[in-house]
């Protein structure tokens, strides 16, 4: 969590692009701290083949944020978001 905050803007951008790429290809488990301080584990993806519906084109063209990432929650089958600076662990299988 502190790594992202202390990273340079270039390092943060590389991390955001890397994570976005991983999310487009894999199911990912993200552990992060919610705004209220509670720990959360989110099983999510951006791989459209793993979503239970077709993603409308309007959702595909959302502007990327430097603060957070919107992802598809595989358990709740809904869209969720997390802040990059709150991530404590990322797990996925290749």
What is the Cα Rg of the chain in Å?
13
Q: Is the pLDDT of residue 62 over 70?
A: no
Indicate the pTM of the whole model. 0.84
Q: Residue 52: its pLDDT value, please?
A: 76
Determine which helix (DSSP H) or strand (DSSP E) holds 78, and give its type and residue range: strand 78-83
CATH architecture of the domain formed by 2-91: Roll (2.30)
Domain ranges (residues) in the chain: 2-91
Residue where the block lists tokens 């990912």: 28
What confidence tier does 88 reach under pLDDT thresholds 50, 70, 90?
A: very high
């Amino acid at each position: 969590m502190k790594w992202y905050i202390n990273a340079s803007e270039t390092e943060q951008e590389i991390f955001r692009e890397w994570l976005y790429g991983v999310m487009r290809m894999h199911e990912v488990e993200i552990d992060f701290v919610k705004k209220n301080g509670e720990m959360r584990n989110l099983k999510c993806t951006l791989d459209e083949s793993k979503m239970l519906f077709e993603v409308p084109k309007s959702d595909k063209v959302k502007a990327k944020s430097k603060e957070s990432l919107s992802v598809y929650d595989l358990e709740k089958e809904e869209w969720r978001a997390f802040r990059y600076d709150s991530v404590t662990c990322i797990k996925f299988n290749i």
